[in-house]
Structure 1
Amino acid sequence: MRLTVRHVTHYRFAAPVRGAVQSHRLIPADCEGQTILDWRVEVEGALWGAAFRDGAGDQVRTMVLRGPVSEIEVAITGEVETTDTAGVLRGHREAVPPLAYRRTTRLTRPDKPIAELARAALEGREDAADLDRAHALAAAVARAIAYAPGETHASTTAAEALAQGAGVCQDHAQVLIAAASVAGLPARYVTGYLNATEDGTPHEASHAWAELHVEGLGWVGFDPANKCCTNEHYIRVGSGLDAEDAAPIRGVTRGGADEVLEVTVAVEAAQQ
């Protein structure tokens, strides 16, 4: 499948700031499930700095804007050829060992209800293969959290999301990571794009899911929000321990000012 992406992140400041520095993790990497045909990240007036591939295989680039700055628009346009690998991440260059992702964070630390969710999902599966156990955990998270935009926010923890029983893809991914840690499976947070939701509705925002490491198979993408493994409808961009760690844009401004953030995303299947 050939997917096109148009993603614009627009910051408007109440008063001009003296400058801004951002670190971007916005460029997807080629791997067996995706081939990047065209990808551009544009910011008017930007001075581009260092670019490198980090240990997780993600491409990172820095950007500086000299002030006065009243607004920043980060515009992404791209075209990617995707294939279905049944969720398995193959051919992705990375150096960080899977065991590094056994570590939890403030956002993915499991509490008692998450531990109980994981144990209930794996009851009777003590001798099952890791892949079966991972599927059971993802299914349990999908059942436990209803997809409900506006019920959580960027700093909502996995424990808080499970307690509410509602959330968005960020919450599904972080609860699955927390449950996987109880089961002893390395897990990480992944950012990217999704062409359509489970019912075929076009997706109008960037997306997130979790990857669990399965012995003998490698990293496998699970999207509890859509009750599936990642497939040709997904474009994988970056990863981290949680939503904060995997944030596509991080930055600081010189001179405090209130800001308004607007994000628009359009992902479509291109004509073959």
Structure 2
Amino acid sequence: MRLKVLHKTHYTYDAPVPYGLQQVRLRPKSRPGQLVEDWQIDVVGGQVEVSFEDEHANSVDLVSFAPGQTEIEITCSGTVDVEDNSGIVGHQGGYVPLWLFRRSTALTKAGPRIRALVNDAPTEGSDLDRLHALSAQILAAVPYSTDQAASDLSAEDVMDAAHGVCQDHAHVFITAARALGYPARYVSGYLMMDDRVDQDASHAWAEAHVENLGWVGFDISNGISPDARYVRVATGLDYRDAAPISGLRYGNAGEDMSVTLQVQQQ
């Protein structure tokens, strides 16, 4: 499926910003099952200082603010051809060893609620059967809800809240999968929705590493493995490794952010 993406992130500040620097992980890469035909990033109010690959082999653009800016806009656009491989991405590559994806982070540390979830997880069937059952179990315990959208909730916090968004589902799945012995990682990207073109935010899901298959994706929020409607952009141990935009700025200016996103079949 040939997907066209237009993604704008617009920041406004109530006072001039003397200095700002952002890491932008919004550039998908061609890989098995995904061909990036064209992609560009445009910045108004700043500039791309350097582009590089991080430890997870994500493409990163380092964007600096022009001094004294009160607005900055980052626009990503392009076309990606995606195959439906039933969520199978393949074996681990890049710079990070597979064992590292069993390590917990501040956002993916198992607590009492996660351990209870794992203790109730099905033990029969293949690895894929168990992981799909875990995905369904998480969605039942943590229904999808946009009532909260904080980016700093840990998996245990999400279980305590008993609702969450795609990012929260991914963190709970990653934490539980690691507790069951599977390497697992966070994925940020785009999803073409069947009922709309305009969206409020990009998407997130999780991947677990299964013997003889490699990485397999699980979109807990939608109860499926990613298909030809999904564009993978960045991966990491948790959201902080794969955040679309993260950075710092000097000064005390208040910030307001708005997002415009369109994903459609071309």
Q: Structure 2 length as normaliser, TM-score?
A: 0.94
1:73 maps to which residue? 73
Give yes or no for contact 2:92–2:98 (8 Å, CA) kept in 1: no
Deviates more, 1:90-99 or 1:35-44: 90-99
Q: Distance in 1 between matches of 2:91 and 2:73?
A: 33
- For residues 147-186 of structure 1, the aligned pairs below 5 Å read 147-186=144-183
Cα deviation, residue 207, structure 1: 0.2
Q: Does 1:260 align with 2:259?
A: no
Which amino acid in structure 2 is aligned with residue 101 of structure 1? Answer: F
Q: Alignment length, in residue pairs?
A: 265
The yes-or-no answer on 1:141 pairing with 2:138 is yes
Q: Percent identity over the alignment?
A: 41
Of 193, 196, 201 in structure 2, the residue corresponding to residue 196 of structure 1 is 193
Is the partner of 2:252 in helix, strand or coil? coil
Displacement after TM superposition at 1:151 (Å): 3.0
Of 194, 201, 221, the residue aligned with 1:225 is: 221
Residue 83 of structure 1: CA displacement? 0.6
CA RMSD after TM alignment: 1.7
Paired residue type of 2:225: C
Secondary structure, aligned partner of 1:244: helix
The worse-fitting range, judged by mean Cα deviation, of 68-77 and 239-248 is 239-248
Q: How does 1:25-36 map to 2 (within 5 A)?
A: 25-36=25-36
**What is the rounded CA distance, in whole Å, between the counterparts of 2:182 and 2:193 in structure 1?**
28
Cα distance between partner residues in 2 of 1:92 and 1:269: 29
Query: What is the deviation of 1:58?
Result: 0.9
Question: Residue 108 of structure 1 aligns with which residue?
Answer: 108
CA–CA separation in structure 2 for the residues paired with 1:142 and 1:234: 20
Q: Select which of 113, 117, 130 maps to 2:127.
A: 130
The one-character-per-residue Cα deviations of 1:158-195 (angstroms, maximum 9, x if unpaired) are 11211222111011100001111210111111100000
* Matched residue, 1:249: 245
Q: What is the rounded CA distance, in whole Å, between the counterparts of 1:44 and 1:264 in structure 2?
A: 15
Moved more, 92-101 or 232-241: 92-101
The answer to whether the 8 A contact 2:17-2:68 is kept is yes
- Work out the CA distance in 1 between the residues paired with 2:63 and 2:148: 33
CA distance in 1 between counterparts of 2:99 and 2:92 reads 17
Q: CA deviation at 1:55?
A: 3.1
Determine which of 225, 235, 254 is the counterpart of 2:231: 235
1:38-94 deviation digits (Å, cap 9, x = unpaired): 111110253322222223221112122231111110011111111101101138852
Read off the aligned partner of 2:215 and give its amino acid letter: W
Q: Which segments of 5 or more consecutive residues in structure 1 lack a partner in the other structure?
A: none
* Aligned-partner residue type, residue 58 of structure 2: D
One-letter identity of the residue aligned with 1:46: G
Tell me by how many angstroms 1:110 deviates.
1.2
Shift of 1:201: 5.0
**What is the identity, as a one-letter code, of the residue corresponding to 1:136?**
A
**Distance change >3 Å, CA 202–CA 148, structure 1 → 2:** farther
State the TM-score, normalizing by the size of structure 1.
Answer: 0.92
Q: Mean alpha-carbon deviation: is it higher for 157-166 or for 75-84?
A: 157-166
The verdict on how the C-alpha distance between 1:92 and 1:186 changes in structure 2, with shifts beyond 3 A counting, is closer
What residue identity is the alignment partner of 2:220? P
SS in structure 2 opposite 1:105?
Answer: coil
The answer to whether the Cα contact below 8 Å between 1:30 and 1:92 also exists between their aligned partners in 2 is no
Which residue in 2 is equivalent to 1:56?
A: 56
Residue 16 in structure 1 maps to residue 16 in structure 2: yes
Range that drifts further, 18-27 or 231-240: 18-27
On the 8 A contact 2:46/2:72 being kept in 1, the answer is no
Instruction: Indicate the larger mover: 1-10 or 49-58.
Output: 49-58
Gaps spanning 5+ residues in structure 2: where?
Answer: none
